């Protein structure tokens, strides 16, 4: 079973004896992609905010590091998403603290219909604590993903644009949905929020591949710095940091409709939990990409606990799920195939291990209910629209919930 299949078949939660045991995706630290702890051609004094794209047969990582005393967007190349070579700068920020392109970061790239590449980034002038940067989003254009020409402001903020939706807009994840339309998930604070309050994620649409943006709408509170990828099974994954204390994932079958809440996920180095509030190593700003074999690789900023700039960009592989005990009820139940098209098979270790099952859509509405008979029950799902669902298997005392994907 490859990594994407493992993710899709995973159990979401388990309720046993009236208590809830959350089950969380676990991603394990593997090493350094770029930075002070990387070796050879991947060495750099620092690295942060990675975004990865494949151009022809080469992977390119766009990230933030210093060029002299200025922030800069750099790029690195790799044949396999693991072994990287630091190449050169894409752009360098202004050295003038009053310039709106002084505090530079959050690169994200989009391939356009004509084969060009549009790179988005967030930037602000310098500010003094406790004030916060007035981030806004700009873009550059390139025919090869290496040599870029500045275009201008893509998402402006108040007070520079009085009717702007945002007081702050930063670090966008820009992608094409299943219809080929351009979408974004933006870190920001809308016009109703105070600067200093926790940022959130907002969806947006563009009819001209990112030059102008409309249809802003809140998605998830207290999250920031998202990345969106399309896996080899046609499922969209959004990864994000949450409140500086954890990370979240949400999945969508069309890149348009996202679940009401995002699932918790754990980034770990051995048994050590990694996040922005870690007491050992601190990570943030996730990146992600899909290898040619379908495996998803995550990236993050990485540094030891304490003040100072980000030191490395680290990478992670999927490492299973946490939160399950050895005697959990899920070991008594198999659900397959997943993804499915016409039918699901629910196989019980014992014939009386469960009573019935429910299928719920992403809004929590029950769309199917069926009694379970014997050790194996076939559930007809051919009439359900394609999408992501929760399958709840219930007995007298316990229930297990499985995430399932239907292609209909």
Q: Tell me the pLDDT tens digit for each residue of 59-96.
A: 999 999 999 999 999 999 999 999 999 999 999 999 99
Which sign, positive or negative, has the C-alpha torsion 322, 326, 327, 331? Answer: positive
Across 125-129, average pLDDT:
85
Q: Tell me the pLDDT tens digit for each residue of 368-398.
A: 999 888 888 899 999 998 877 888 887 766 6
Q: Check residue 353 and give its pLDDT.
A: 57
Domains contained in the chain, CATH given = 3-22+333-406 (2.60.40.3080), 24-322 (2.115.10.20)
When pLDDT is cut at 50, 70 and 90, the band that residue 326 belongs to is: very low
When pLDDT is cut at 50, 70 and 90, the band that residue 16 belongs to is: very low
What are the CA-CA distances from residue 352 to residues 330, 331, 373, 392, 396 (Å)?
A: 14, 14, 8, 16, 10
Is residue 296 within 8 Å of residue 231, measured between CB atoms? yes
Across 190-208, average pLDDT:
93
When pLDDT is cut at 50, 70 and 90, the band that residue 334 belongs to is: confident
The answer, yes or no, to whether residue 15 has pLDDT greater than 60, is no
Q: Check residue 183 and give its pLDDT.
A: 98
Q: Which of 137-146, 180-189, 252-261, 321-330 is predicted with the least confidence, judged by mean pLDDT?
A: 321-330
The answer, yes or no, to whether residue 364 has pLDDT greater than 80, is no
Across 204-232, average pLDDT:
96
Is residue 239 within 8 Å of residue 298, measured between CB atoms? yes
Across 270-296, average pLDDT:
87
């Amino acid at each position: 079973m490859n990594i994407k299949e493992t993710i899709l078949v995973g159990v979401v939660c388990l309720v046993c004896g009236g208590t809830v045991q959350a089950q969380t995706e676990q991603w394990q630290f593997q090493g350094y992609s770029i930075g002070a702890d990387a070796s050879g051609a991947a060495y750099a004094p620092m690295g942060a905010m990675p975004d990865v794209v494949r151009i022809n047969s080469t992977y390119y990582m766009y990230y933030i590091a210093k060029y002299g005393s200025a922030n800069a967007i750099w790029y690195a190349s790799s044949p396999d998403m693991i072994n990287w070579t630091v190449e050169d700068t894409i752009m360098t920020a202004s050295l003038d603290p009053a310039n709106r392109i002084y505090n530079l970061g959050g690169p994200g790239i989009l391939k356009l219909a004509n084969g060009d590449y549009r790179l988005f980034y967030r930037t602000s002038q310098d500010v003094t604590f406790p004030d916060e940067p007035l981030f806004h989003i700009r873009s550059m254009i390139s025919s090869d993903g290496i040599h870029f020409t500045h275009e201008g402001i893509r998402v402006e903020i108040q007070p520079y644009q009085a009717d702007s939706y945002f007081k702050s807009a930063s670090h966008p994840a820009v992608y094409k949905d299943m219809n080929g339309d351009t979408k974004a998930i933006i870190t920001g604070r809308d016009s109703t929020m105070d600067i200093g309050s926790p940022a959130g994620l907002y969806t947006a649409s563009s009819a001209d591949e990112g030059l102008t943006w409309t249809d802003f709408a809140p998605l998830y509170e207290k999250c920031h710095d998202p990345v969106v990828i399309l896996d080899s099974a046609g499922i969209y994954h959004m990864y994000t940091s949450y409140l500086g204390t954890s990370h979240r994932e949400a999945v969508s079958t069309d890149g348009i409709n996202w679940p009401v809440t995002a699932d918790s996920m754990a980034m770990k180095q051995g048994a050590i939990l990694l996040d922005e509030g870690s007491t050992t190593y601190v990570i943030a700003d996730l990146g992600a990409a899909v290898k040619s074999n379908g495996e998803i690789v995550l990236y993050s900023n990485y540094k030891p606990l304490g003040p100072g700039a980000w030191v490395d960009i680290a990478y992670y592989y999927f490492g299973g799920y946490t939160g399950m005990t050895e005697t959990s009820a899920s070991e008594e139940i198999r659900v397959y195939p997943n993804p499915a098209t016409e039918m699901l098979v629910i196989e019980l270790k014992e014939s009386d291990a469960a009573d019935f099952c429910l299928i719920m859509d992403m809004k929590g509405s029950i769309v199917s209910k069926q009694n379970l008979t014997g050790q194996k029950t076939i559930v007809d799902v051919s009439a359900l629209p394609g999408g992501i669902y929760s399958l709840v298997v219930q007995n007298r005392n316990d229930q297990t919930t499985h995430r399932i994907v239907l292609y209909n």
